[in-house]
Amino acid sequence: MNKIAVIPVRSGSKRMPKKNYKTFNSRNLAEIARDKCLASGIFDKIIISSDDLVFKELINCDQVDFIHRSEILANDNATTDKVVDFFFDVLPSCESILWVNSVSPLQSIRDIKSCGLRLNDPEVDCVMAVNTLYQHCCIDNNPLNFNPNNSFEKTQDLKPIQRYIYSCMGWKRETYINSRSDGFRGLFPGNMALVETSTLAGMLIKYEEDFILCSQIEKAMDSVSNTSTFKNYVT
């Protein structure tokens, strides 16, 4: 097992209880992520990991497996780095891990594949999916990418902002493990690559209204899915 896709699935969620159990247009969120990872054709193994053994039922071929995660690593206090530590510990033969977020059901196969292939680059140690925004942005009321004392700039002329969207993120084992051993406590050690992904990939399901909106968007896209432009966008 060299290149692994991991789909973490929590049984609990404060902002939208039981969201990973809900049917999203005939499938649950983990199924959608699993099928897109399989369709990408770039992973040696796809791991579904949850504190609830019911998700073991999503194993549908030899390429898919399940890893049980303790409640401690699936509650609200579990940090991402601790979960990544766990994955590298229980998958000792993997070369890299791409975390594929199940709550981004509209990310495309192309989005996942772009992140996975970028992680394969020998010059890259970790990756993060991003959306590039051309918007006037501030931090604590301080302009970030524009000068309010100058003539008001058109959005297309602004310095772009790259927003982490967390639909996919990944790490190379060697750099990650060595950095942790050396005392690095950040999440992204070494040379990080930002991978531009579709706008829809950035639509994460956190609340009930997100679920409804994403579901309706997918239905609308399915209604025109026979047109090549839309079909390519979601796949």
Residue 225 has pLDDT above 70, yes or no: no
The tens digit of pLDDT for each residue in 139-193 reads: 999 999 999 999 988 999 999 999 999 999 999 999 999 999 999 999 999 999 9
Residue 59 has pLDDT above 80, yes or no: yes
How distant is the alpha carbon of residue 207 from its chain centre?
A: 17
Number of H helices, E strands in the chain: 6, 9
Per the structure, the count of domains in the chain is 1
Q: What is the pLDDT of residue 226?
A: 57
Residue span of the structural domain in which 222 resides:
3-234
DSSP codes, 82-126: HHHHHHHHH-TT-SEEEEE-TT-TT--HHHHHHHHHHHTSTT-SE
The CATH number of residue 218's host domain is 3.90.550.10
Among 83, 101, 103, 79, smallest CA distance to 91 is for 83
Q: Which amino acid is at 202?
A: G
Contact (CB, 8 A) for 193 and 114: no
| Averaged pLDDT score across all residues of the chain | 92
